[in-house]
Amino acid sequence: GLVSLKYMMKGGQAMVEAIVAFAIVMVAIVGLVDLSKRSVTSSGISQRESRATSYLNQGMAWVRGQRDTLGWSGFSALAGQIYCLEVDDLALANWSTVVTDIANCPALGQTEYTRAVTLTVATVTPAGGGAVTDVVTAEMEVRWREGERLVRRRLATNLLPY
């Protein structure tokens, strides 16, 4: 009697220890799965950020080239508008898609991104004197969605006549 009760108690204790060990292992597995999921999500976000930066830089290079192609008077005359740059191949881009808000721009090629540039012009006098000149500020913006969140990246530069 007493010996078998002692073995039953040890068997019950072993069962409790096994259940606790199983619970600890399950918590660890759930934690690792969550960490893995976050890592994949973070990697995807980083890739989209990198692509957005590339679209910003390509767009700004195109705008600088347009200043040279159109000449200063033609280029600065474009100021005061928001222009969509919806083509992935900027060799095909033009100034024809004008919007009141970048939210109205079509997607950039077959991507999830939208890209637009806003041009503004200001007349400045250099510090210490000198000739008054116009400066065109080009603000490029790329947008996309991360789930429900709208993500925006911007790049701005001041352009002067040559």
C-alpha distance from residue 87 to each of 80, 90, 115, 145 (Å): 21, 6, 9, 19
| pLDDT tens track for 41-85 | 556 788 999 999 999 999 999 999 999 999 999 999 999 999 999
**What is the pLDDT, as a whole number, of residue 109?**
86
What are the pLDDT tens digits along the chain (162 aa)? 555 555 555 656 777 777 877 788 787 777 666 666 665 555 678 899 999 999 999 999 999 999 999 999 999 999 999 999 998 888 888 899 999 999 999 999 889 999 999 999 999 887 887 888 899 999 999 999 988 999 999 999 999 987
Instruction: Give the contacts of 34 (CB within 8 A, at least 6 positions apart).
Output: none
Instruction: Give the number of other CB atoms < 10 A from CB of residue 117.
Output: 25
**What is the pLDDT, as a whole number, of residue 9?**
57
DSSP-based three-state secondary structure for 103? helix
**What is the pLDDT, as a whole number, of residue 11?**
59
Are 112 and 87 spatial neighbours (Cβ–Cβ below 8 Å)?
A: no
**What is the pLDDT, as a whole number, of residue 78?**
96
**What is the pLDDT, as a whole number, of residue 43?**
61
Closest by CA position to 113, among listed 40, 50, 156, 62: 50
Give the H/E segment covering residue 54: helix 2-76
Give the H/E segment covering residue 24: helix 2-76
